Amino acid sequence: MKKEINVTASRHKRRKRNIKIIKLTLIVLILLLIVLYVVMGFVYNSGNFSITLDRNSYFEKNIIIYDDPDYKVFRSEMFAQTVESLDNISYKWLPDDIQNYQGSHNGENYIAYSFFVENNGVAASDYWSELIIVDSIKKVDEAIRVRVYRDGEYVTYAKMSGHGTPEPDTIPFTDDKLIALSQIRDFKPGDIHKYTVVIWIEGSDPECTDNILGGEIKIQMNFNSEFIEK
């Protein structure tokens, strides 16, 4: 009788221990899901496109970024207005004067943001700019176009086609995450570069299919005082 009581008590302890382990595991999983939700929310609630300036560019070279010439203050980050959804369009539908604005000027089914980079210092310097894909859902980056105007001249970037050739009238992304990397040399005191970045889904791209419906993308343009190897 005593042995049976001991066996029952042992089983009861194991069951309680297992229940505690299961509860603890569930709590950990829930916390991980909450953290993931917060991180993803932060990424996408900050907009589809953002610009960053590293602190060395400002504190050592006095380079600043701004989207309003009447409000030139140090800012390390700027955000374009978020677009809830994008339908595919043709590059031919983009306005001819799209680079003649300031700040966010999104249109029907495209993102457009214009801003300035200025050397506010007393010496000429160089800076690096890089366009990166922070995240892409449902391979929407396969059909995306990113056009960058600098002082009126533009380049259009697109991912390499499925056949391994550049899409028409575009420069291929450097790799799956890095769209483009460039160095601007001899940026003199008082020099100002105006940038306009336009993002859209190109309807003529063979990868523009129903498979990317519901996809999302976040792109970031970084300005750095020196080359940062990824």
> What pLDDT score does 43 carry?
41
Lowest mean pLDDT among 39-43, 57-61, 97-101, 192-196: 39-43
Give me the mean pLDDT over the 148-169 stretch.
Answer: 94
Query: Does residue 83 carry a pLDDT above 90?
Result: no
Supply φ then ψ for residue 135, to 5 degrees.
-160, 150
The token pair that represents 53 in the structure block: 């300036």
Q: Characterize 19-49 residue by residue with b for buried, 16 or more Cβ atoms within 10 angstroms of its Cβ, and e for exposed.
A: eeeeeeeeeeeeeeeeeeeeeeeeebebbbb
Query: Does residue 36 carry a pLDDT above 50?
Result: no
d(CA 230, CA 54): 15
- Percent of the chain exceeding pLDDT 90 equals 69
> What pLDDT score does 10 carry?
62
